[in-house]
Amino acid sequence: MFVSHLHGDHFGGLPFLILDGQFSRRTGPLAVVGPPGTATRLADTMECLFPGSSTTPRRFAVEVTELAPGTSRTLCGVAVRAWEADHPSGAPALVLRLDLAGKTIAYTGDTAWSGAIAEAAADADLLIAEAYYRDKHIPYHLRLADLRAHLDQLTARRIILTHMSADMLDAPQEPSFEQARDGLTITL
Ligand SMILES: [Zn+2]
Ligand SMILES: [Zn+2]
């Protein structure tokens, strides 16, 4: 599980995933990769939601790896590289690039436009990009307008938009971008 940053809408599902593993008798380890602070914030969140759950013995290990911006690692067969996003969240937020099985996936997380996005997405098979609003400026977030303005720098073969407000979801889709939806499965 790769986590871009430690806001609730991006990592808040982890306690439920871990508890689901516990109740469905999971045995394989769960690798969680996120920014510095992930281990503590995950334990704090588990304690807040389900007191005692962060120390309950389980049949599977939760292996947290913290990745600083500007570093890269290979974990579980995935080569991951991280850049610092422009998005305060009580810990450094990351723009991620994952290489696995001969394919490359980049993910903006939440961030204001930054050159890191173009670097992370260079020649990628897929860029998953935040597109919060079409034109409305929200500090530390990406708009469709930002992606459009920098489209010539984005060399990923596919761009799928996510993190969309109603303003985006209600508007007609544009040919340069696909839109994510709940339950979407992507084949590369
Ligand atoms: Zn955020
Ligand atoms: Zn968010």
pLDDT tens for 50-65 read 999 999 999 999 999 9
- Among all bound ligands, the one having the nearest atom to the CA of 93 is 1
Per-residue confidence band for 157, with pLDDT thresholds at 50, 70 and 90: very high
CA of 169 to the centre of ligand 2 (A): 16
pLDDT value of residue 59: 96
Q: Report which bound ligand comes closest to the CA of 7.
A: 1
Q: What is the pLDDT of residue 174?
A: 86
Domain-embedded: residue 69: yes
Q: The domain containing residue 115 runs over which residues?
A: 8-179
| Distance from the alpha carbon of residue 106 to the mean position of ligand 2, in angstroms | 16
Q: Count how many domains the chain has.
A: 1
| Residue 46 lies inside a defined structural domain of this protein | yes
**Residues 123-140: tens digit of each pLDDT:** 999 999 999 999 999 999
- The pLDDT of residue 114 is 96
In a domain, 3, yes or no: no
Confidence class of residue 102 from pLDDT cuts 50, 70 and 90? very high
Average pLDDT (41-57) is 96
Task: Give CA–CA dist 72/98, Å, rounded.
Answer: 10
**Burial bucket for residue 8 (CB in 10 Å: 0-12, 13-18, 19+):** exposed
Query: Is 170 domain-assigned?
Result: yes
CA 4–ligand 1 middle distance (angstroms): 9
Q: What is the CATH classification number for the domain harbouring 142?
A: 3.60.15.10
Separation between Cα atoms, residue 109 and residue 107, nearest integer Å? 6
180 CA to centre of ligand 2 in angstroms? 14
Average pLDDT of the chain is 97
Interval between CA 79 and ligand 2 midpoint (Å)? 24
Considering only the C-alpha atoms of the chain, give the largest distance between any 2 of them, rounded to a whole number of Å. Answer: 51
pTM comes to 0.95
Q: What percent of the chain is predicted at pLDDT more than 90?
A: 97
Task: Report, in this order, helix, strand and coil percent for the chain, each rounded to 5.
Answer: 25, 25, 50
In the numeric block, the tokens 């690692």 are attached to 73
Selection from 45, 8, 66 nearest residue 18 by Cα: 45
Q: Is the pLDDT of residue 175 over 90?
A: no
Q: Does a structural domain hold residue 110? A: yes
Among the residue ranges 34-43, 146-155, 168-177, the one predicted with the least confidence is 168-177
